[in-house]
Amino acid sequence: MNRSDVTIVVPTYKEAENLPRLLPRILDTLESGGLTGGVVIVDDNSDDGTAEACQPLIDDGRVRLEVREHERGLSSAVLHGIDLAESEFIVVMDADLSHPPEAIPRIIDALRDGADMVIGSRYSEGGSTADEWTTWRWFNSKVATLLARPLTNVKDPMAGYFAIRGERVLSVRDQLNPLGYKIGLELIVKCGCKSVAEVPIRFEDRVYGQSKLNMREQWHYLRHIGRLYRYALARRLRGGSMVSE
């Protein structure tokens, strides 16, 4: 069997209202972009009808649903999806319609052009966020970005929309132990991504469901940043670079 081009990994928890809108857009984009592959949804045992919402596309083989009954968390869900991928490229995106799937072909093109990792970026030239963003949300995002600056120079290291080659993740799989939501930053650092391309996107606010971002997740991010600083410093002492280009 030929290896597919791309696997789209979508971590979910109570996103049943969004999935019937998101999944057809992903699949239409893959088809129109000439990309082979499908979607892996990793769900943390939602009780909102997620399985029923996905069933029509599961039946025709384009979507796979993995329900985790004993583990929770976005980052570990993403890694679980990556472990299941059988494709050259892996794209990770949120289920809440904030990330436009129509950008997937451009993101894959940037990987094929030689980037180590590609981000669907809110802050690169041409990128933007929804008009409804509050000053507090914008400030919170900028502070988190500044905290990541010693680790990478990319403009949107907090992005949850990114792509990477599967073999690159597998080469460091045993070193990955992300905490909280910022799995992309973990991969930039531990996969040694020196060339990170940013494809501008319009980041939209969710329409259905509730945001998972809260004070607990912000605390997780601070702990995660601390871990990555220690990891990067140890690598620098061994002779590597601390900051990804």
Maximum separation of any 2 CA atoms in the chain, in Å:
52
Structure tokens at 10: 């979508």
In whole angstroms, give the CA distance from residue 243 to residue 193: 10
pLDDT recorded at residue 236: 80
* Nearest by Cα to 20 from 97, 105, 104, 103: 97
Q: CB of 120 within 8 A of CB of 162?
A: yes
Q: Where are the beta strands (DSSP E) in 22-122?
A: 37-43, 63-67, 87-92, 117-121
In whole angstroms, give the CA distance from residue 81 to residue 12: 11
Q: How far does CA 49 lie from the centroid of its chain?
A: 23
CATH superfamily of 4-237: Spore Coat Polysaccharide Biosynthesis Protein SpsA; Chain A (3.90.550.10)
* Nearest by Cα to 165 from 228, 115, 231, 225: 115
* Nearest by Cα to 86 from 166, 170, 191: 166
Per-residue pLDDT of the chain (245 residues; tens, 9 = 90+): 357 899 999 999 999 999 999 999 999 999 999 999 999 999 999 989 999 998 888 888 889 999 999 888 889 999 999 999 989 999 999 999 999 999 999 999 999 999 999 999 999 999 999 877 778 778 888 888 999 999 999 999 989 999 999 999 999 999 998 877 789 999 999 999 999 999 999 999 887 766 655 677 788 888 999 999 999 988 888 775 656 65
pLDDT digits (tens, 9 = 90+) for 92-118: 999 999 999 999 999 999 999 999 999
Sign of CA dihedral 228, 231, 236, 241: negative
pTM, two decimals, is 0.91
Domain ranges in the chain are: 4-237
Q: CB of 205 within 8 A of CB of 96?
A: no
In whole angstroms, give the CA distance from residue 243 to residue 245: 6
pLDDT recorded at residue 3: 73
Pairing type for strands 4-12 and 37-43 reads parallel
pLDDT recorded at residue 1: 37
